[in-house]
Amino acid sequence: MITTTGLIFTHYRRFGYNSRVKEFAPLVREGNLDRQEWLAFFHEVKSELDNNTWEREKIDSVLEKLGLTDDYEKYITACKS
């Protein structure tokens, strides 16, 4: 789940939309995934990303340990412009 969420986060930040939806659509149509559950999940992730609260503590902790906090903030600023 973390990998999927991380990819959703990255693609949403980079492209402005969830490029992974096409991979989930066939699974929903085949009945392998519950549509309402995944819609709720995607909306929650989108809301957290829009509000810059998604996994923020974990991200900040890892970036700080790696000494990349300033680089990350520059990247986010560049992505928004």
Task: Supply the pLDDT for residue 21.
Answer: 76
Q: Among residues of the chain, what percentage have pLDDT more than 70?
A: 85
Cβ-contact 33, 41 below 8 angstroms: no
Range of the domain at 34: 2-80
Task: Supply the pLDDT for residue 44.
Answer: 82
> What CA–CA distance (Å, rounded) separates 63 from 17?
24
Q: How confident is the model at residue 3 (pLDDT cuts 50, 70, 90)?
A: low
Domain count, the chain: 1
Task: Name the pTM for this structure.
Answer: 0.49
